Amino acid sequence: MTARAADLHIEDLTVEFSKGDYRVRPIDHLNVTVKAGSLALLLGPSGCGKTTLLSCLAAILKPTSGSITYGDQEITSLSGRALTEHRRHGVGVVFQAFNLVPSLNSVENVAAPMRSAGVGARAATQKAVGLLQSVGLDDRLTHKPNNLSGGQQQRVAIARALALDPPLMLADEPTAHLDYIQVEGVLRILRSLTDNGRVVVVSTHDDRMLPLADQIIEMRPKFLPNTDVAPTQTTLVAGESLFSQGDPSDLIYIIDSGQVDVVRDTTDGELLLATLGPGDHLGEMGPLFGLRRSATVRARTDSTLTGYSVKAFRDHVGADQLPSLIRGR
């Protein structure tokens, strides 16, 4: 292990931000520990917060609450020079779209972070050449990104992320733009990065990468199993919430009695989307598509609702009615 090798602790991390005129909470009270020298895979569909978590780990995004600690350094509390130092020396990032600077050749791209950190030109170039050789690009040192394949660009990006030998390495969808031959080479390199005790966190929605990981961090919201649970009745008093915006989705509801308001939390406060009454259904999109609740449902009057699992709801309304129900609102 390197002297800087340490465990990564994510504690009660929540990220909430405004997107357009409404709020989203892609990360909701996340708790994870990644051991030194291990590769953790952030797995989940688009929009589940993988990139948001990487942004927090890279100290690019401040979480709403919670903390991220690497060794004895709390990343989430960094600011000013300490923040810059962390970005330079504490973490290396391999971006999804490679993000190489098109006007710089491979060596210059890898040397750029070192030059910004004050490393001399000769030393930076020498180290860049060494890193590129280590990822198998001996013959592509002076090529510009537009003359490199996707896999070669990804390897240059990995070499750049390693330029200042960071103890924490992040990779955002590193295989997204690669064919299967290129993927093989990149996976081998990613796996080897943990050899000296480095923590590697890789985000992906590609479950073929599972064998690569020492640890899987499931970023999909925790839902109730989509099994045939019996319908359950819920009673709300006026003002009481059935569920809140951003909550994991479980059941689809049909109103038996009373009235409920569907409201969205926006940057300007709550926006009333609809008031629903007996016979109306609500909350179908989340359970059907594995999404979080996109609005809060609150009882306007004392109300009674029946909650259905997806299967039970399908049986209740008839499978052929689902498409029109989805289109309906």
Partner 1 sequence: MLRAALRDLQWRKKRFVIAIVGVALVFAMGLIMTGLSESFSREVDRTLESLDAETWAVSENASGPFTSFEPIAVTLAGREPSAMMVVRKTVDDGGTVHDVIALGVERGRLGAPHASDGADLAELGEAVVDEDFDVVDIGESFELGSRTFRVVGTVSGQRLYAGLPIVYISLADAQALVVQGQPFATAFLYESPPAKVPRGLRTMSNAEVKADVLRPLENAMSSIDLVRVLLWIVAATIIGSVLYLQALERTRDFAVFKATGTSTAAIGLGLAVQAVVLSLAAAVIAALLAVALTPLFPMNVEIPASGFMMLPVITVVVGLLASLIALRKTATVDPAVAFGG
Q: What does the binding site for partner 1 look like in residue numbers (CB under 8 A)?
A: 51, 54-55, 58, 60-61, 84-89, 93, 95-97, 99, 101-104, 108, 112-113, 115-117, 160, 172-173, 176
Round to whole Å and give the CA distance between 191 and 268: 46
User: Least distance (Å) from partner 1 to the CB of residue 60?
Assistant: 5
Q: Give the nearer residue to partner 1 in terms of CB position, either 43 or 242.
A: 43
Nearer to partner 1, 103 or 324 (CB): 103
Nearer to partner 1 (CB atom), residue 148 or residue 312: 148
Residue number, 87 or 314, with CB nearest to partner 1: 87
Nearest-approach distance from CB 169 to partner 1, in angstroms: 13
Residue 92: which of 165, 195, 197, 175 has the closest Cα?
A: 165
Q: How many CA atoms lie within 13 A of 317 on its CB side?
A: 22
Q: Which is nearer to partner 1, 56 or 242 (CB)?
A: 56
Which of 85/270 has CB closer to partner 1?
85
Shortest Cβ 300–partner 1 spacing (Å): 39
Helices (H), the chain: 50-57, 80-85, 106-116, 121-134, 150-161, 180-192, 285-289, 310-317, 322-328
Closest distance to partner 1 from the beta carbon of 247 (Å): 25
- Token duo for residue 266: 């926006």
Radius of gyration of the chain (CA): 24
151 touches 145 (CB < 8 A): no
The phi, psi pair for 29, rounded to 5°, reads 55, 55
What are the backbone dihedrals phi and psi of residue 151, each rounded to the nearest 5 degrees, phi first? -65, -40
Q: Whole-number minimum distance, CB 108 to partner 1, in Å?
A: 7
Instruction: State in angstroms the smallest separation of the CB of 147 from partner 1.
Output: 13
How many other CB atoms sit within 10 Å of the CB of residue 273?
Answer: 15
What dihedral do alpha carbons 287, 288, 292, 293 form, nearest 10°?
-70
Q: In whole angstroms, how close is the CB of 57 to partner 1 at the nearest point?
A: 11
Q: Please tell me the distance from the alpha carbon of residue 116 to that of residue 120, in angstroms, as a whole number.
A: 10
Which lies closer to partner 1 via its Cβ, residue 51 or residue 309?
51
Is the backbone of residue 175 left (phi > 0), alpha (psi -120 to 50) or beta?
A: alpha
